[in-house]
Amino acid sequence: MSNLQLINAEVVSFDNLTEKSAILIDGEKIAELSAEKSAAAEKIVDLSGLMVYPGFIDVHNHGAFGVDVNSADADDLRRVSQFLATEGVTAWLPTFVPDSDETYQKVIAAIGEVMRTQDSGEAEPAAQIVGVHYEGVFANEQMCGALRPEFFRKFTGGDELEKLPALENAVHLTTYAPEVEGGIELTEELTRRGWIPSIGHTKADVATLDRALAAGAKHVTHLFNAMTGVHHRDIGVAGWALTRDQISCEIIADGIHVHPEMLKFAANNKPADKLILVSDSVAPTGLGDGTYELWNEKIAVVGGKTQNERGSIAGSVITMLDAVRRMKSLGFSAAHVARMASFNAAKMLGIEKQHGSIEVGKRADLTALDENGEVKFVMIGGRVAVDKLS
**Are residues 33 and 60 located together in one domain of the fold?**
no
Residue 52 phi/psi, 5-degree rounding, is: -100, 120
DSSP category for residue 141 = G
Number of domains in the chain: 2
- pLDDT averaged over 10-residue windows placed end to end, the chain, 390 residues: 84 76 93 84 93 98 97 98 98 96 97 93 90 94 81 87 95 97 96 97 97 98 96 95 98 97 97 97 95 91 90 91 98 96 98 96 97 97 95
How many Å apart are CA 53 and CA 335, to the nearest integer?
Answer: 9
DSSP category for residue 202 = B
CATH number at residue 34: 2.30.40.10
**Are residues 44 and 185 located together in one domain of the fold?**
no
Question: What is the model's pLDDT at position 1?
Answer: 47
Helix (H, G, I), strand (E, B) or coil at 209: helix
Report yes or no: 221 and 250 within 8 Å, Cβ to Cβ: yes
Helix (H, G, I), strand (E, B) or coil at 327: helix
Kindly give the interhelix angle for 74-86 and 101-117, rounded to the nearest 10 degrees.
60
Question: What is the model's pLDDT at position 39?
Answer: 75
**Are residues 30 and 177 located together in one domain of the fold?**
no
**Are residues 73 and 13 located together in one domain of the fold?**
no
Active site members: 280
Residue 327 phi/psi, 5-degree rounding, is: -65, -35
Question: What is the model's pLDDT at position 122?
Answer: 76
How many Å apart are CA 93 and CA 99, to the nearest integer?
Answer: 17
DSSP category for residue 340 = I
CATH number at residue 315: 3.20.20.140
pLDDT digits (tens, 9 = 90+) for 246-286: 999 999 999 999 999 999 999 999 999 999 999 999 999 99
Please give the residue range of the domain that contains residue 33: 4-51+374-387
**Are residues 60 and 197 located together in one domain of the fold?**
yes
Question: What is the model's pLDDT at position 2?
Answer: 58
**Are residues 66 and 101 located together in one domain of the fold?**
yes
How many Å apart are CA 68 and CA 66, to the nearest integer?
Answer: 7
How many Å apart are CA 148 and CA 289, to the nearest integer?
Answer: 23
